């Protein structure tokens, strides 16, 4: 849920935009991070861990823990808590090692 009226800060949601998660449209606001905007739409699972394939979501929201990796506009392994939403952004969960690493492995 988006907070329409904050008890201290009041009404502050900026411009509404549409983002796509797994090709489904969701509403977000420009000042939000991708991870936060998804959470507002009840999406908490942002991907799975590499080794044990367990669910991962936002943990620190500070860019430190790397628990929130997602694929954003074609780029793998982006920290979704540090990336602000943009209209039309296409977001996919992090289900795997990033493309770039796989290419290196093949060499």
Partner 1 sequence: MKTDVLIIGGGPAGLSAAIETASRGLDVTIVDEASKLGGQLNQQTQALRPLPSVHEPMRGFELADKLIEQVKGFNVRPLLNHRVVGFYADGSAGITDEENVFPVKAKKIIVASGAAEKAVAFPKWTLPGIMTIGAAQTLINRDFVMPGREAVIVGSSDFAMETAIQLMDVGIRVKAIIEKQNGALAKEQEKVSELSRNGIPFYFNSFIREARGNGQVAQIDIELPDEVITLNVDLICMDGGRAPILDVFYQLGCSFGFQEELGGWVPQYSNTFQTDREDVFIAGNAAGISTQGPLLLTGMIAGISVSEELQAISPAEANEIRDAIWKELGLLECKEVYTGRVKHLENFTSPVLKDQFIS
Residues that bind ligand FES (CB under 6 A): 58-61, 63-68, 79, 81
Residue 30 engages partner 1 in binding (rule: CB under 8 A): no
Nearer of residues 32 and 67 to ligand FES, judged by Cβ: 67
| Binds 1: which of ligand FES, partner 1, none (CB < 5-8 Å by kind) | partner 1
Residue 51 engages partner 1 in binding (rule: CB under 8 A): no
Residue 100 engages partner 1 in binding (rule: CB under 8 A): no
Task: Output the CA angle 91-9-62, nearest 5 degrees.
Answer: 40
Nearer of residues 57 and 98 to partner 1, judged by Cβ: 57
Element (DSSP H or E) covering residue 69: strand 69-72
CB-based contact 22:92 (threshold 8 Å): yes
The set of residues, in sequence order, having a beta carbon less than 8 Å from that of 60 and lying 6+ positions away, is 67, 81
């Amino acid at each position: 849920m988006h907070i329409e009226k904050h008890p201290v800060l009041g009404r502050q949601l900026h411009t509404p935009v549409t983002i796509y998660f797994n090709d489904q449209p969701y509403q977000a606001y420009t000042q939000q991070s991708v991870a936060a905007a998804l959470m507002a739409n009840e999406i908490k699972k942002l991907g799975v861990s590499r080794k044990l394939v367990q669910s991962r979501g936002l943990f620190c929201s500070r860019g430190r823990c790397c628990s929130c990796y997602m694929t954003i506009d074609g780029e793998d392994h982006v920290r979704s808590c540090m990336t602000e939403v943009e209209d039309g952004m296409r977001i996919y969960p992090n289900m795997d090692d990033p493309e770039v690493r796989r290419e290196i492995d093949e060499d």
